[in-house]
Amino acid sequence: MAEVKLLGLWGSPFSRRVEMALKLKGIEYEYFEEDKKNKSPLLLKYNPVHKKVPVLVHKGKPIAESLVILEYIDDTWGDIGPPILPKTPYERAMARFWPKFIDEMCIPTLRRASWSEGDEKEKAKNEAATLLKILDVEVKGKKFFGGETLGLVDIAAGFIACWFGVMEEIVGTQILNKDEFPNLCDWIEVFNNDNFVKQNLPPRDRLVGKYEAHYQAVKQARAA
Amino acid sequence: MAEVKLLGTWGSPFSLRVEMALKLKGIEYEYVEEDLSNKSSLLLESNPVHKKIPVLLHNGKPIAESLVILEYIDETWQNGPSILPKNPYDRAMARFWAKFLDDTLAEAFRKTFASAGDEQVKAKEQVQELLKFLDNELKGKKFFGGESIGFVDIAGNALAYWMEIFAELAGIEFIATDKLPHLCAWMEVYLNSSFVKEHLPDREKLVDSFRARFQKTG
């Protein structure tokens, strides 16, 4: 019986966060690919509240919510591999603040800016630019958000580096551009080309296919 | 000399959470009451991203977001009672439930207050389902934190006190003893615990302030 299990989805940015953290620490785990349309009894048992991935199961005890899982991994395997959170309380507070900002503000806005249309899209695009500027300022002068090495904020911001890039390609927007967000684009370049990160992002062509299908479905629903 | 300052507002549960944590640890602090219709330059400089309270300033360095502040307080001042549990799994559970309160449950309440008719009935049912999870979580426990008030209990101030007031103003009953016995018991003990009671804003004043706000926007 594997001591560490992960219920995930290949294309989910939240699921990939947890895989990245486990791999960063060199923790062995058994992976279960879920099916959103046909959730496994294991998923429903281990995350009855949200019924979502990712769920980490350690010695039979489940933990849900990607950021909660990442802190759990850092707390539990603190002595093993590189740290995910910084050491000092103030830096840790900052490392908690930014992923919250990314999840609560950036991701929903970036999704709306991609999939909506008309006035809603324009409004979302403007909001997105404001939010991305904030991140651009935050990462200025740094290799990663975490400093010299990858940390919690970088792992959380993976959505912007990878998933959003594909979304923009599909819908034909150029919200995230080098002119307006030079520092963020530099970070994206470093992040996406990092050897470790590269191995842990979903295959790009598969993601393109997934978002193509999603975009078609969204457009069809609107036309109906 | 360590300098601790809190930018807050009187009627905010998020602001109160931070005060509760500081008082729990016996930390001296300077409280600054913000006027949200006329935000101070200190607030705008300290929280340029959200421009919201609460903001804790420790030796001039600002931290925003109430739950982030609570963890900062717990990690910085290790004397006095712990806010989060010691064991990693229990800590994960505390973080999970606090997030549940602030994200999932709060959104469900918002939907209920913002809707009417059938939509509101559906929204109310959703709230009941979510509250049932909390009720289960409290089985066999005095507080979410066990024997004493912890992270989730502090985060639960909005549910225990503010939500109940909104519900009364909206004429909706959410928490019935027969359906949610453990949650009701928790609310009773929590709101009557001397530590919490002495720090809650006056109920009548709070009701009046919300009534005034509803009238302004209504």
Digit-coded pLDDT (tens) for A44-67: 999 999 999 999 999 999 999 999
Nearest chain B Cα distance for residue A58, angstroms: 9
Q: Which residues contact B78 (CB under 8 A, 6 or more apart)?
A: none
Together in a domain, A25 and A106: no
Q: Do B152 and B211 belong together in one domain?
A: yes
Q: Using a CB-CB distance cutoff of 8 angstroms, which residues of chain A are in contact with residue B68?
A: 93, 96-97, 100
Whether residue B71 lies within 8 A of chain A, CB to CB, comes out as yes
Quick one: tokens of A97?
């603040």
Residues B71 and B110 reside in one and the same domain: no
DSSP state of B201: P
Residue B128 has a CB neighbour count (10 Å cut-off) of: 16
Q: Assess whether A121 and A149 both reside in one domain.
A: yes
Do both A189 and A147 map to the same domain?
yes
Q: Look at chain A and report how many structural domains it folds into.
A: 2
**Of residues B68, B103, B104, nearest to A93 (C-beta):** B68
Same structural domain for residues A95 and A186? yes
Evaluate whether residue A81 is within a structural domain. Answer: no
Amino acid sitting at position B62: P
User: Quick one: A100 and A197 in the same domain?
Assistant: yes
Q: What are phi and psi of B174, to 5 degrees?
A: -105, -40
Cα torsion angle, A84, A89, A90, A93, sign = positive
Mean pLDDT check: name the lowest of A44-58, A107-121, B40-54, B196-210.
B196-210
In this structure, the answer to whether residues A107 and A211 fall within a common structural domain is yes
What is the domain range of residue A108? 89-223
Task: Indicate whether B148 and B111 sit together in one domain.
Answer: yes
pLDDT digits (tens, 9 = 90+) for B138-187: 999 999 999 999 999 999 999 999 998 988 888 888 888 889 999 999 99
Tell me the CATH number at B12: 3.40.30.10
Q: Which of residues 106-165 of A touch B (CB under 8 A)?
A: 134
Q: What average pLDDT does this structure show over A25-36? A: 96
pLDDT at B218: 46
Predicted confidence at residue B215, as pLDDT, reads: 63
Instruction: Note down the domain range covering B186.
Output: 88-217
Q: How far is A194 from chain B (nearest CA, A)?
A: 29
Residue B175: the pLDDT is 82
Domain boundary among A24, A50, A76: A76
Residue A19 lies in a domain: yes
- What pTM was estimated for this model as a whole? 0.96
Question: Do B140 and B69 share a structural domain?
Answer: no
Alpha helices in A62-171 (DSSP H): 66-76, 89-101, 107-115, 118-139, 152-156, 158, 164-171
The CATH number of the domain holding residue A61 is: 3.40.30.10
Residue B35 identity (one-letter amino acid): D
Q: Which residue in A has a C-alpha nearest to residue B70's C-alpha? A: A93
- Assess if residue A100 is contained within a domain: yes
Number of domain units in chain B: 2
Query: Domain ends where: A76, A106, A136?
Result: A76
SS (H, E, C) A80-98: CCCCCCCCCHHHHHHHHHH
Residue A2's identity, in one-letter code, is A
Quote ipTM for the complex: 0.96
In a shared domain, residues B19 and B110: no
**B72 lies within 8 A of chain A by CB:** yes
Q: Is A207 on the interface with B (CB under 8 A)?
A: no
pLDDT digits (tens, 9 = 90+) for A170-198: 999 999 999 999 999 999 999 999 999 99
pLDDT category of residue A212 using cuts at 50, 70 and 90: very high
Using a CB-CB distance cutoff of 8 angstroms, which residues of chain B are in contact with residue A89? 72, 75-76
CATH code for position B169: 1.20.1050.10
Task: Say what the pLDDT of residue B2 is.
Answer: 55
Q: Tell me how far CA of residue A11 lies from CA of A4, A79, A206, B33, B65, in angstroms.
A: 21, 30, 8, 46, 30
Assigned domain for B161 exists:
yes
Size of interface A-B (CB pairs under 8 A): 61
- Shared-domain flag, residues B32 and B110: no
Measured between alpha carbons, how far is residue A24 from residues A67, A71, A84, A199 in Å?
15, 13, 8, 11
Q: Tell me which residue of B98, B205, B110, B127 sits closest to B166, measured CA to CA.
A: B110
> What's the half-sphere exposure (Cβ side, CA atoms, 13 Å) at B53?
28
Q: Does B65 touch chain A (CB under 8 A)?
A: yes
Q: How far is B62 from chain A (nearest CA, A)?
A: 9
Note whether B173 contacts A: Cβ–Cβ < 8 A: no
Residue A82 counted as domain residue: no
Q: Judge if A171 and A69 occupy the same domain.
A: no
Domain's final residue, options B76, B105, B123? B76
